[in-house]
Amino acid sequence: MSSPPDPCKNRLIAALPEDILARWIPRLTPFEMPLGEVLYESGKQMSHVYFPTDAIVSLLYVMENGDSAEIAVVGREGVVGVSLFMGGNSTPSRAVVQSAGGGFRMRSDEMYAEFTSDVRVMQLLLRYTQALLTQMAQTAVCNRHHALDQQLCRWLLLTLDALDGDVVLMTQELIANMLGVRRGGVTEAALKLQAAGLIRYKRGEIEVLDRPGLEKLTCECYAVVKREYDRLLPPRVVAT
């Protein structure tokens, strides 16, 4: 028999004081996140917030013509739905599962009550929100000023930080949608990284062979984001 899912595999939940965690446990519902699942749509009122444990969620800004570009990724370090407890209830972005897995969710009214009634919850979530805003700002700068192969390195490294292992299951079409570029550009960038011995690339799958090499090749954007998450949030939870 498999063991029940553990909410403390999420970095924010694991950082809660014991009395708050005991209060949250009955309110957290296990939630499967299949690839491509839309957790919320642009402009729609949110019913829940989501705490991934081994899934990755992409926050996409969607244009009127249907084009989209990724503005941030959320994995086991965070929560999907910050606009809810910040008082907005909705956002112009869309949340789509980028890497299938699981997590937990909490009803929106319960999350808002926790945020407004306990300063410890508020401080933890505000620190996370600051780190998330840093990622969004750095993504915008990176997409404007850096080469596509550097953008792909940044994206891969952020994705690996939220996963166990070195393999990312993702089609070139989805990666192109995330980065807001054409599919052919993603293929060219991936083949360049493969020729350098950094990754092994085949349809629907990227295996990272040399993470230090990726970190050396990528632009400063990845390090800026990583430092801010490590500065603002508790130490990473090591999966057992």
Residue ending a domain, choose from 119, 152, 180 = 119
CATH number, domain of 221, equals 1.10.10.10
Same domain, residue pair 149 and 100: no
**Per the domain annotation, does 238 fall within a domain?**
no
CATH number, domain of 113, equals 2.60.120.10
**Where does the pLDDT of residue 31 fall: very low under 50, low under 70, confident under 90, or very high at 90 and above?**
very high
Same domain, residue pair 59 and 102: yes
Residue ending a domain, choose from 71, 103, 119 = 119
The 10s digit of each residue's pLDDT in 33-87 is: 998 899 988 878 888 999 999 899 988 887 777 677 788 889 999 999 988 887 7
pTM: 0.84
Same domain, residue pair 111 and 159: no
**Per the domain annotation, does 31 fall within a domain?**
yes
The 10s digit of each residue's pLDDT in 163-200 is: 777 887 776 676 766 666 676 777 788 888 888 898 88
Which of residues 108 and 165 earns the better pLDDT score?
A: 108
Examine the pLDDT at 2 and tell me if it is beyond 60: no
**Per the domain annotation, does 78 fall within a domain?**
yes
Which of residues 15 and 169 earns the better pLDDT score?
A: 15
Residue 155 belongs to what domain range? 143-227
Examine the pLDDT at 232 and tell me if it is beyond 70: yes
What pLDDT score does 238 carry? 45
What pLDDT score does 206 carry? 84
Same domain, residue pair 100 and 20: yes
What value does the mean pLDDT take over residues 142-150?
A: 81
Residue 91 C-alpha from the chain's centroid = 16
Same domain, residue pair 40 and 110: yes
**In the chain, beta strands by DSSP E:** 29-33, 38-40, 48-52, 56-62, 68-74, 93-99, 101-107, 167-169, 199-202, 205-208
**Per the domain annotation, does 55 fall within a domain?**
yes
What pLDDT score does 63 carry? 74
CA distance 32 to 9: 15
CA distance 92 to 99: 22
Question: How many other C-beta atoms can be found within 10 angstroms of the C-beta atom of residue 211?
Answer: 14
CA distance 43 to 33: 21
Number of domains in the chain: 2
What pLDDT score does 177 carry? 66
Same domain, residue pair 78 and 151: no
Same domain, residue pair 115 and 12: yes
Same domain, residue pair 107 and 161: no
